[in-house]
Amino acid sequence: MDMDLIPTDVMLEILSRLPAKSAIRFRCVSKLWGSMLNRPYFTELFLTRSSARPRLIFGVVKRNGELLLYSSPQPRNLYKNSSLVVAADFHLKFSVDNNNCGYNCEYTSGLIYFPRKYKDAMPVICNPVTGQYATLPVGKEYIRCKSFLGFDPIDNQFKVLRMHNNLRKDWDNYILTLGTGNMWRKIQCPLTHYPVREGICINGFLYYLAELADELSDKKSYAIVCFDVRTEKFKFIDAECYYHKLINYKGKVCGIKLEYAYDGGFPLKLSLWVLEDVEKQEWSNYSYCLEVKNVKANCNLSVVGMTARGEIVLVKEDAFKPFYVFYFNPERNTLQSVEIQGVGEVQKWSNIDIVFGFVDHVEDLNFDIM
């Protein structure tokens, strides 16, 4: 068939259904194809198609400081098979700070942010699909710092919120809007607080757990900070307890705690606190007992999020084969194990490598943040 006889819109429709790696390679076929596949129309079409097939993205931080990024399909028919196996795709490898990197990186709208840890390390934002990455300006040196990546869907802007601990033991707050000159701006926060966990961005609001400063008492109190990415205003919500993870629970922020019944094994108690109303600060609490059968899982697990279909996803924190991901459905009260194959071929994993992950990753060919 003569490719010239196929209308351009039909050709773009066909190419939008391909895997991201194929679409990126086809940009190199010719100048015409490069121009065609870089058009905003095609990137938006591809994003729409990708939204219907979200993926689990996970990284392996090796002890030598290398980071390996993979992704795998999120199974649709979890309850029709007693055991499932899916294949992983390798995306990229680069060097990072391996000191708790998996617990400090941020994911928002297809991009992964690795904050700066040491003087010789720069903050990095990458698109795992295209392999593109960018370093961010560091700014002034501070004793301690914590930063988060947020996305404003109204103005279609990514912003980095960064808090610095100065010599007066106060915290200075700065914001960086990506794509607008990349200059840090100082903003005000009405309450001194100390971020203690990673954040999550839901519908333009960045949530993270923080410890509140109280010089009159040694007792620790915690709050969930709600930061409006667009207006850059803070709101504080009393936390029910110290959460191990914040997730997107059907559009609502949810705190999660994991408790093992015995040393490093199942059954596992999973407790959820769902913030039903932000203004009224009303919570709902649920607890579940998880038990895996026919799978050796006596290792530490961590929750990486909840899919749009309503499954809470847990991964092994330590990397070794066979590598399993667990999907828990609260409504069905069922736990399904899924074996991920195709990992470790790029570089052999060891039992001390750290795994982290994010759910509902949508492949986006855009990387217009600088």
DSSP E strands, 75-228: 84-87, 89-95, 106-108, 111-114, 124-127, 132-135, 144-152, 157-165, 171-177, 185-187, 193-195, 200-202, 205-212, 222-228
Cβ neighbours around 93 below 10 Å, total: 15
Closest CA to 151 of 304, 369, 305: 369
Q: Is the pTM of this model over 0.75?
A: yes
Q: What is the pLDDT of residue 356?
A: 86
DSSP string over 327-353: EEETTTTEEEEEEEES-SSSS---TT-
In DSSP terms, 101 is beta-bridged to none
Predicted confidence at residue 102, as pLDDT, reads 46
In this structure, the chain runs to a length of 370
pLDDT string in tens for the chain (370-residue length): 455 667 888 888 888 888 888 888 888 888 888 888 888 888 889 888 888 889 999 888 777 777 888 899 998 877 766 668 888 888 888 776 545 444 478 899 889 998 865 445 678 888 888 888 888 877 665 556 788 999 999 998 999 998 877 655 667 889 999 887 768 899 999 888 888 888 999 999 999 999 886 654 566 789 999 999 999 999 999 998 889 899 999 999 999 998 876 555 556 789 999 999 988 999 999 999 887 665 555 557 889 999 999 999 998 776 667 788 899 999 888 888 888 887 755 555 555 577 889 999 988 888 776 5
Sheet containing 132-135: give its strands across.
Answer: 106-108, 111-114, 124-127, 132-135
Peptide bond into 322 cis (omega under 30): yes
pLDDT of residue 3: 57
Other C-beta atoms within 10 Å of 203: how many? 12
C-alpha to C-alpha distance for 286 and 280, rounded to whole angstroms: 19
Quote the pLDDT of residue 312: 94
Domain with CATH 2.120.10.30 in the chain: 53-361
Domain 53-361: which CATH number of 2.120.10.30, 3.40.50.300, 2.40.50.140, 3.90.1150.10: 2.120.10.30
Give the residue from 101, 76, 55, 83 showing the smallest Cα distance to 305: 55
What is the residue type of 170?
Answer: D
Structure tokens at 32: 């015409």
